[in-house]
Structure 1
């Protein structure tokens, strides 16, 4: 079906059985929206408000990722490390 079919499958998968990554991204999006509205209420300039809201989203993303997986960085599935032989 192409792009529309893939998007439909992704949305259905997100609603029915979201992965840990999807949960973390959804929480980050909500955190960005809340932070943006909060900074608007304080009347920060647009650039400062937007940058700070994205920073809050990144912090939320890492915190939720850690809470869901127990790791800040997912473990490597490769046994070989290309930088350290």
Structure 2
């Protein structure tokens, strides 16, 4: 039962020691749920309500990511240490 064990370990890891990415995703999901219920309460049409809720989730994801990491895009790593690509078929 490898799949069940992997899922269980992922959930346990999320609860006990979540990474910054997992924290941001949880905040985005909560923002989507809250905004969807708010838009439902003011009686927006279904398509508008769900699209707006997902938009609010993306905004919450980016804001939370910025607050947790201090930057919008994670660094690519050290470009100086990587060797330049050499095509063996084109000298």
Q: Quote the residue 2:20 is aligned against.
A: 20
Q: Quote the residue 2:48 is aligned against.
A: 48
Unaligned runs of 5+ in 1: none
Q: CA deviation at 1:62?
A: 0.1
Number of residue-to-residue matches in the alignment: 81
Q: Moved runs in structure 1, 4+ residues, more than 2 A?
A: none
Task: Report which of the two structures shows the higher radius of gyration computed on alpha carbons.
Answer: 2
Q: TM-score, normalised by structure 2?
A: 0.85
Please, what is the CA RMSD of the aligned residues? 1.3
Q: TM-score, normalised by structure 1?
A: 0.91
Unaligned runs of 5+ in 2: 85-91
Q: Quote the residue 1:7 is aligned against.
A: 7
